[in-house]
Structure 1
Amino acid sequence: MTPQAVLDHYDQGLLWPADRPLPIAADVDAAYQQALALRALRTARGERPVGYKIGFTNRTIWPRYEVYAPIWGTVWHTTLARSSGGTGEVSLDRLCQPRLEPEIVFGIAATPPRDATLEELFGCIAWLAPGFEIVQSHLPGWKFTAADTVADGGLHARLLIGRETPVGRFATSAHALDELLGRARVRLYRGDELIEEGKGVNVLDGPLHALHHFNQELQRCPGAPALMPGDVVTTGTWTDAWPLEPGQSWRAEFDAPFDSLGITLR
């Protein structure tokens, strides 16, 4: 599948036809080059990259999807929404098999140095916020290889970010923030029904570790842009990814001091 073909499916919200040859790319490295070509196509038509998503950081769901390492993809100004009031509304129009993930999102204040330590990375963080990423797959039944997911835009569809709180209000060191995030929990509700509970330690031992891993992988990927001031990075779901339908309302209640976030789908 060519990058233009992937983009066409993004625009139309269509499954990739089952009779087309798979995998999308020979391996994950080749898939990232396809993903960067897709990024160039989207940029050329006027979309603006605003950050990144990290996927498959939650080791508890690796066997379910048969993907056993993290991936990453681009977040766009056309896929990002913000809500400072604790809830937001997002359209599922032209999304393909959408699912919901509760996450913690980082705002980047400075480009991290090469092979940054956790402490150096902490110094490059501006804020943290609760987030809902809506992911999608253009492959039937959410059956894919790791290379497929990378070439398929990292499965990213939409990102809703809640209130952005300066990192200094949570912790003054990487160690303290790591411990706080690692022991935090989230309760995910659909309407008033508790669907699943998750914890920060699920995502590569904590969201700060997920960010650290991603920064290293980004710096090692040929042709990939560096993290920049103002970028957002969503660090992976604390629960499984749950199928969505228009009209639903969901809520993620994170442990204090992290904010909770609600989303209504249309």
Structure 2
Amino acid sequence: MTPETVLAHHDTAALWPAADRQGSSTTDVASAYQDALAVRALREARGERAVGYKIGFTNRTIWERYGVFAPIWGPVWDSTLTLCHGSGVVDLAGTSQPRLEPEIVFGIAATPPADPSLEDVFAGVDWLAPGFEVVQTHCADWKFTAAETVVDGALHARLLVGPRMPVRQIATSGSALDAALAAAHVRLYHGDALIDEGVGANVLDGPLHALLHFVREMQRCSGAPALKAGDVVTTGTWTDAWPIEPGQTWRSERDAPFAPLTITLR
């Protein structure tokens, strides 16, 4: 599929026809990133602004379920990002087969150096927050190749970011933050019903490791822009991704110091 076709399906929330799912971008991840960058350029040309990134498939416990066995990444847009103080409303209009993921989001203060260490990445973080990412796919029944997920905007649809905490109020080093996040638990509720539970270590051994992996991979991707101050990066789900519908309310609860986060879908 051409970048123009991918964007047209995105705009109309239409599934990709089987006949169009042909070519190197369905099997070759490196080619898929170049196609994804072309789609990004089309969106920027019409006035959309990338405000950060999402990292997907960092949770190894769900790799087998979805048939994708390595992380992916793609942009978050000014039109898909919502900030809140603990409770937010997200519109699902225009999404395709949406699902919900509880994540940890980082706010970036500085561009990391080339081939950074964990401590280098930590030094470039300003804040972190609980988040909900709404993910989607334009492939029927959530059946896809890894390359197709890259072309399909890394499956990003929406991002709700909750209360933001200065990172140095939580930890004074990358190793300390890594340990704290890896050990933290999340409980995911739909209404009052507990739906799923997870732990930070599910996400490539911890969200800071996920951020490190992403930075290194993006630096190796030809034509990819550098991570910059002001960007947000959401680091992947701690649980499975759960189907959602308008009218629902979901809540995540994590160990201290993270506040609960509630999302209402319309």
Q: Same fold (TM over 0.5)?
A: yes
Q: What's the TM-score once normalised by structure 2's chain length?
A: 0.98
Residue 199 of structure 1 corresponds to which residue in structure 2?
Answer: 199
Residue 247 of structure 1 corresponds to which residue in structure 2?
Answer: 247
Alignment of 1:258 with 2:237, yes or no, is no
| Partner Cα separation in structure 1 for residue 19 and residue 51 of structure 2 | 35
In structure 1, list runs of 5 or more residues that go unmatched: none
| Partner Cα separation in structure 1 for residue 260 and residue 114 of structure 2 | 34
| Partner Cα separation in structure 2 for residue 246 and residue 259 of structure 1 | 24
Residue 50 of structure 1 corresponds to which residue in structure 2?
Answer: 51
| Partner Cα separation in structure 1 for residue 207 and residue 15 of structure 2 | 31
SS, match of residue 116 in structure 2: coil
SS, match of residue 19 in structure 1: helix
Residue 32 of structure 1 corresponds to which residue in structure 2?
Answer: 33
Residue 161 of structure 1 corresponds to which residue in structure 2?
Answer: 161
Residue 235 of structure 1 corresponds to which residue in structure 2?
Answer: 235
Q: Conserved in 1, the CA contact under 8 Å of 2:109 and 2:229?
A: yes
Q: Conserved in 1, the CA contact under 8 Å of 2:27 and 2:145?
A: no
| Partner Cα separation in structure 2 for residue 228 and residue 21 of structure 1 | 34
- State the AA in 1 paired with 2:181: L
- State the AA in 1 paired with 2:175: H
Q: What's the offset of the Cα at 1:14?
A: 1.0
| Partner Cα separation in structure 2 for residue 21 and residue 135 of structure 1 | 20
Q: What's the offset of the Cα at 1:18?
A: 2.7
Q: What's the offset of the Cα at 1:92?
A: 0.6
Alignment of 1:127 with 2:127, yes or no, is yes
Alignment of 1:146 with 2:146, yes or no, is yes
SS, match of residue 35 in structure 2: helix
Residue 112 of structure 2 corresponds to which residue in structure 1?
Answer: 112
* 1:101-159 Cα deviation digits (max 9, x unpaired): 00000000000000111111111000000000000000000000000000000000000
| Partner Cα separation in structure 2 for residue 124 and residue 21 of structure 1 | 39
| Partner Cα separation in structure 1 for residue 167 and residue 20 of structure 2 | 46
| Partner Cα separation in structure 1 for residue 19 and residue 113 of structure 2 | 45
Q: What's the offset of the Cα at 1:26?
A: 4.0
Q: What's the offset of the Cα at 1:258?
A: 1.4
| Partner Cα separation in structure 2 for residue 61 and residue 182 of structure 1 | 17
Alignment of 1:215 with 2:215, yes or no, is yes
Q: What's the TM-score once normalised by structure 1's chain length?
A: 0.98
Alignment of 1:17 with 2:4, yes or no, is no
Residue 96 of structure 1 corresponds to which residue in structure 2?
Answer: 96
In structure 2, list runs of 5 or more residues that go unmatched: none
| Partner Cα separation in structure 1 for residue 8 and residue 124 of structure 2 | 36
| Partner Cα separation in structure 2 for residue 247 and residue 72 of structure 1 | 29
| Partner Cα separation in structure 1 for residue 264 and residue 42 of structure 2 | 30
Q: What's the offset of the Cα at 1:260?
A: 1.5
